[in-house]
A and B are shown apart, each in its own frame.
Chain A
Amino acid sequence: MPTPQRLESLNRGKFDYQEVLRDVARSMVRLKRPDRLLKLITRFIDRQFGLTHTSLLVFDTKRNRYVFVNSKGARRFPVGLIKMDVNHPLIQWFSDSRKKQSMPKDFLFLSDVKKMLSRAEFRMASDSRGDQLTGIQKAMKNLNAELIIPGYFKDTLVGVLILGKRVNGRCFTKQEVIFFQTLAHDCSMAVKTAEYNQNLVEQNRELERRLEEIEGLRRKEQRTYYEIMRSLAEEVHAKEPCIFGHVSEVEKLGLMTAREMGIDLSGRTKDILSAALILHDVGKIGIPDNILFKPGQLTMEEWNIMKSHVEKGARILEPLTDFKRVREIIMAHHERFDGTGYPRGLKGEEIPIEARIICVVDSFHAIVSTRCYRDGRSIESAVQEIRNCSGTQFDAVVVDAFLRALRKGLHKKGAVPDVLGDYAGR
């Protein structure tokens, strides 16, 4: 950036007002943090004009007060030591004059204050303006101030430039005063721009934090809902005794089948398949027990009610927005590979792969389980039936993987039936 360098070089030699102002304006736009610009301007004035001190008072929005942020010269103020409250006479003089336009002054000489105080209208004890001027005179003496230049942004007093006497005793020219005013204005712009930027950054951060919080709560809610659904599903399964005895056995078998098929089960894929395997029959909670546990054949009407457990399940899971796919899977877990299943008669690849897996695992589970309407059959006969339906009811690829998974699962339990033994490795 050329500007700070130019100000630096100007600090050492003669300068052209116009040139400096153009530079300051340009760097003001570029600088996100105005501290450096303010510092450069203070030092520039100090060196160029040879003052007892050049100091900058800036409004601290958080604490609602004006604090010295920069000071240069032999009689400089320690930065951070002195503040002026918003009701300080000097601060009020400039903030009021801007609002009321009664005394539109964009600068104030100590000599002017003295002159005004000598006028009769200000000397009257009842005149609060007189008190104010006395306060200002005192403050200016305290600060060794000769000239004060306010800096505004819109109608807000952003800061005050406080200048000491010239060391050589010369007065300030009109042109110099205008120059200081322009610098003070530019400083205010820089401070405000930076403030807006900072506020935006902070607001953004706050928004992000809140979004995260909401997302956390939402996830927690989903988790809770999921747990409730899981208990419901277990309730459904608990009513129907089976050899695996528990819904988690079905889940294990389904996951093993998927793994055998080479499906990558990291992260969400596994969560979705797990949830679908566990929850696929949750809709049965909405089927009357006299139909659910009816010994013997169902009437057509009863069968239609029975079939509705698929849609009921999908509906129950609607609030689980994180598991939209689970609903689609559950909707399809009674579809058949040849397109003759329900409720929509989907075919082949139209049926989600997870649903095709559940279809096989669930059928196997149903065959080997003892149900109210019939006794459970042997694993051998279940395997035989699954195999018979491969390619029609079931996806053949899934059946192959399932049988390999089943064999591995039973092998661990030390009970591999012959029917699977000769199937292994194929």
Chain B
Amino acid sequence: MMRKLLVVDDEIEICEFLKSFFEDRDFKVVTASSGEKALDQVAQFQPDVVLLDIQMPGMDGLQALKKIKESNARTKVIMVTAVETQEKIEEAMRLGADNYITKPLSLEYLEKDVQDKIELLSQGMQQNSSPR
């Protein structure tokens, strides 16, 4: 099954770049430019992993994170943001973020982290389907 990734960032350039980067690595990728649109995409597209910016007009990334975790607890959410205050990091972790990556980021690290999250998901699925 193809792995599904949602990229949420109000900068179109970033969305487009990460979309083609992960498409080259056999991901199915959709993008969203705001918190509200991200929630719609999560509902429709059911991504495995979400790359979520924090500072966006309208609903910000932390609010979106909370809602995503409420509706799709299984979905892994990686915060990808230029905000690096301890307060925001702690809040994101409290709301259930699976990682917090600050921009500028290392592409190698981002790629590895997304792969790790996919790995975790597939392990979880195997565990669920195996008899107890």
Contact = CB atoms under 8 A, between A and B. Distances in A.
Contacts of B103: 80-81
A123 B71 CA distance: 48
B108 A83 contact: no
Interface string A60-80: 000001011000000111101
B106 A138 contact: no
A165 interface: no
A162 to B, nearest CB: 12
Contact of B105 (A83, A88, A139, A143): A83
Nearest to A89: B108
Contacts of A67: 104
Contact of B17 (A77, A88, A135, A139): A77
Q: Name the interface size band of chain A.
A: 10 to 19
Interface in B12-52: 13-14, 17, 20-21
B13 A82 contact: no
Contact of A142 (B11, B13, B104, B108): B108
Given A75-B20, A142-B21, A81 B104 contact: yes
B105 A78 contact: no
Interface residues of B, number: 14
A136 to B, nearest CB: 11
A142 B105 CA distance: 13
B91 interface: no
Contacts of A138: 108
B21 A83 contact: no
B107 interface: yes
CB-based closest 5 A-B pairs: A83-B104, A78-B13, A78-B14, A142-B107, A67-B104
Interface of B: 11, 13-14, 17, 20-21, 82, 103-108, 111
23 contacts: A65-B104, A67-B104, A68-B104, A75-B20, A76-B13, A76-B17, A78-B11, A78-B13, A78-B14, A80-B103, A81-B103, A81-B104, A81-B105, A82-B105, A82-B106, A82-B107, A83-B106, A84-B106, A135-B108, A139-B107, A142-B107, A142-B108, A143-B107
